[in-house]
């Protein structure tokens, strides 16, 4: 049994320090260039030392911003904040300065911890690498589980900030549930490529692996050459990714085939029907490029098409699909099925209950559900209206069809999800990215934007042969830049595209 599972519910982040001591001199965290690295024993010491240092500078309940920190230092700073009963406010460094400043004011932050000495902040700043920490055997006071732990600004936060408040109970209960569904092996190596300001990366790319004694490598550069270098150097076992990362991997694989493309296509066809070990044998050279040990992708943060999943499963990789939101700390369901039904995101994890409202909206409940948005003027009662449209099958699997706000209802009463049209479009050769918006009176006209080499007339002909009469594409427009606008978690920003079209 996993060490954390011996406790019916985790009681404190302080329990991690005991785990770290048990994992001893095993590697815990490092940057991909290894300029910063910690064993588990050293990580526990550094957290205690920094916690003691921070304890003289903040009070319980105060908000502390985490901004522009190296991965290992982010982890240490985060633990030090929450163990001191303060509230962590992680911010993505790619946010523009005006938005950062708005968040500083919104949460009334008292302190900012960073590795960047040039960041402007109106109150106190700790520049991590400039501090010389004395050794300390500091121990925290007990933290009530319903104490606020952090405020996460969701992946859509590029306009008006919206901060999700999460308690210690929310996060620790979700970790306890996730560990019952997927347990990484001690010593496995994980390459971290997503921002730690995102709840998905915090849970699956940080808390899950360090609770299990894994070695996390924080990737410094996200270009394909650097990624492959790290995969080979560290012999990585699994990665936590959004579907866009796998799209880029797929593109990298297929674009460099040259004359061997027909052979590769033939091997893909026959590999579908083979056991996993034979798939890996057939594509041995590809697996060696990925370091030889990479076997698993944990995929979440956006819809994951069955076609993309089939591609990587056919190559011999395992894809574990998760569904959730920042408001649910974040995991709600997980699918580890060998043949995942279309649109299925698997079964609810332990302690989580999923229901479908009369209008098709997915409603989740459990101890992982956020009490509300900062400044907590209204409290939730453990129930979350997700804003997603879905269904449950007879086995209890959840299916997600799209966002409630992306469902177009025509004057005839007919309905269609914009995501369904986009999914069909991506199956056409020559389309890299796609986004559909509804415009005109009663949203009666559908406009498709895309990047890639496909011709506009080819796309509109292809789709309108498949779509019902009421949902035909009115116009196809090639986007004026190489990529469609996306958030820091690589979700395409439909509102920016809509606003750009409206002003043209």
**Nearest-angstrom CA–CA distance, 95 and 410:** 37
Q: What is the pLDDT of residue 7?
A: 45
The answer, yes or no, to whether residue 131 has pLDDT greater than 80, is no
The answer, yes or no, to whether residue 423 has pLDDT greater than 60, is yes
Q: Provide mean pLDDT across the span 398-427.
A: 84
Q: What is the pLDDT of residue 129?
A: 78
More confident call, 292 vs 376: 292
The answer, yes or no, to whether residue 271 has pLDDT greater than 50, is yes
Q: What is the pLDDT of residue 156?
A: 52
3-state secondary structure string across 388-455? EEEEECCCCCEEEEEEHHHEEECCCCCEEEHHHHHHHHCCCCCEEEEEEEEECHHHCEEEEEEEECCC
Q: What is the pLDDT of residue 138?
A: 82
Per-residue pLDDT reduced to its tens digit, 295-328: 999 999 888 888 899 999 999 999 999 999 999 9
pLDDT tier at 2 (50, 70, 90 boundaries)? low
Q: Provide mean pLDDT across the span 401-414.
A: 79
CATH number of 410-503: 3.30.300.30
Per-residue pLDDT reduced to its tens digit, 17-75: 989 999 999 999 999 999 999 999 999 999 999 999 999 999 999 999 999 999 999 99
More confident call, 208 vs 249: 208
- Matching residue, tokens 């034979």: 278
Q: What is the pLDDT of residue 160?
A: 65
pLDDT tier at 98 (50, 70, 90 boundaries)? confident
More confident call, 10 vs 178: 178
Q: Provide mean pLDDT across the span 70-89.
A: 97
The answer, yes or no, to whether residue 123 has pLDDT greater than 90, is yes
The answer, yes or no, to whether residue 76 has pLDDT greater than 60, is yes
Q: Domain segments of the chain: what residues?
A: 3-167, 410-503
Q: Provide mean pLDDT across the span 112-127.
A: 92
The answer, yes or no, to whether residue 397 has pLDDT greater than 90, is yes
**Nearest-angstrom CA–CA distance, 204 and 214:** 12
Q: What is the pLDDT of residue 396?
A: 95
Q: Provide mean pLDDT across the span 358-378.
A: 91
Q: What is the pLDDT of residue 64?
A: 98
Q: ∠218-219-225 over CA atoms, to 5°?
A: 160
More confident call, 491 vs 308: 308
Lowest mean pLDDT among 156-165, 178-187, 195-204, 429-438: 156-165
Q: Provide mean pLDDT across the span 229-254.
A: 92
**Nearest-angstrom CA–CA distance, 452 and 220:** 28
Q: Provide mean pLDDT across the span 120-128.
A: 91
The answer, yes or no, to whether residue 157 has pLDDT greater than 50, is no
Kind and range of the H or E run holding 67: strand 63-67
CA torsion, ordered 186, 191, 194, 200, to nearest 10 deg = -20
Of all residues in the chain, what percent carry a pLDDT higher than 70? 94
- Matching residue, tokens 């070695």: 215
b/e code 378-399 from CB counts within 10 Å (16+ = b):
eebeeebebebbbeeeeeebbb
As a whole number, the mean pLDDT across the chain is 90
Q: What is the pLDDT of residue 260?
A: 87
> Is there a contact between 461 and 476 (Cβ–Cβ < 8 Å)?
no
pTM of the full structure: 0.85
Select, from the ranges 117-126, 363-372, 425-434, the one with the highest average predicted confidence (pLDDT).
363-372
The answer, yes or no, to whether residue 5 has pLDDT greater than 60, is no
Write the CA distances from 70 to 213, 221, 224, 254, 289, integer angstroms. Answer: 20, 12, 20, 33, 27
Sign of CA dihedral 147, 151, 154, 159: positive
pLDDT tier at 412 (50, 70, 90 boundaries)? low
Q: Provide mean pLDDT across the span 264-280.
A: 93
pLDDT tier at 259 (50, 70, 90 boundaries)? confident
CA torsion, ordered 154, 155, 160, 165, to nearest 10 deg = 0
Write the CA distances from 310 to 251, 306, 342, integer angstroms. Answer: 15, 6, 11
Q: Provide mean pLDDT across the span 80-95.
A: 93
Pick the CATH number of 3-167 from 3.90.180.10, 3.50.50.60, 3.40.50.12780, 3.40.30.10: 3.40.50.12780
Partners of residue 346 on adjacent β-strands: 398
Topology agreement, domain 3-167 and domain 410-503: no
**Nearest-angstrom CA–CA distance, 57 and 84:** 10
Lowest mean pLDDT among 333-337, 468-472, 485-489, 491-495: 485-489
């Amino acid at each position: 049994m996993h060490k954390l599972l011996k406790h019916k519910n985790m009681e404190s982040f302080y329990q991690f320090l005991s785990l770290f001591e048990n994992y001893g001199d095993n590697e815990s965290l490092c940057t991909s260039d290894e300029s910063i690295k910690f064993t588990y024993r050293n990580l526990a010491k550094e957290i205690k030392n920094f916690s003691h240092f921070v304890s003289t500078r903040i009070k319980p309940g105060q908000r502390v911003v985490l901004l522009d920190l190296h991965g290992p230092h982010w982890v240490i700073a985060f633990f030090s904040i929450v163990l001191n009963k303060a509230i962590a406010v992680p911010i993505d460094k790619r946010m523009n300065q005006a938005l950062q400043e708005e968040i500083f004011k919104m949460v009334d932050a008292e302190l900012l911890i960073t590795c960047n000495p040039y960041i402007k902040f109106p109150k106190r700043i700790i520049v991590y690498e400039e501090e010389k920490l004395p050794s300390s055997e500091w121990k925290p006071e007990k933290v009530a589980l319903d104490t606020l732990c952090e405020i996460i600004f969701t992946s859509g936060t590029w306009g008006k900030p919206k901060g999700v408040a999460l308690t210690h109970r929310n996060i620790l209960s979700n970790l306890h549930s996730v560990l019952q569904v997927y347990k990484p092996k001690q010593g496995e190596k994980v390459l971290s490529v997503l921002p730690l300001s995102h709840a998905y990366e915090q849970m699956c790319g940080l808390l899950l692996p360090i609770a299990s004694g894994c070695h996390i490598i924080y990737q410094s550069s996200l270009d394909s050459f650097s990624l492959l270098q790290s995969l080979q150097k560290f012999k990585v076992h699994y990665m936590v990714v959004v579907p866009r990362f796998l799209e880029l991997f797929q593109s990298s694989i297929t674009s460099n085939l040259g004359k061997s493309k027909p052979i590769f296509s033939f091997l893909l066809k026959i590999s579908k029907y083979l056991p996993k070990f034979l798939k890996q044998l057939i594509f041995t050279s590809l697996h060696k490029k990925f370091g030889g040990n990479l076997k698993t992708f944990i995929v979440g943060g956006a819809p994951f098409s069955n076609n993309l999943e089939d591609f990587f499963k056919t190559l011999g990789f395992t894809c574990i699909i998760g569904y959730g939101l920042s408001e649910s700390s974040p995991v709600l369901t997980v699918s580890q099925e060998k043949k995942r039904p279309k649109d299925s995101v698997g079964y609810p994890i332990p302690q989580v209950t999923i229901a479908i409202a009369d209008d098709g909206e997915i409603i989740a409940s459990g101890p992982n559900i956020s009490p509300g948005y900062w400044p907590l003027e209204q409290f939730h009662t453990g129930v979350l209206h997700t804003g997603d449209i879905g269904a449950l099958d007879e086995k209890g699997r959840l299916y997600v069809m799209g966002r409630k706000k992306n469902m177009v209802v025509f004057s005839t009463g007919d309905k269609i999800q914009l995501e369904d049209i986009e999914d069909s479009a991506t199956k056409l050769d020559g389309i890299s990215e796609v986004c559909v918006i509804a415009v005109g009176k009663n949203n009666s006209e559908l406009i498709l934007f895309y990047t890639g080499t496909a011709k506009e007339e080819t796309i509109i002909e292809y789709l309108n042969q498949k779509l019902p009469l009421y949902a035909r594409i009115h116009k196809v427009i090639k986007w004026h830049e190489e990529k469609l606008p996306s958030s820091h978690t690589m979700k395409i920003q439909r509102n920016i595209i809509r606003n750009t079209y409206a002003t043209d």
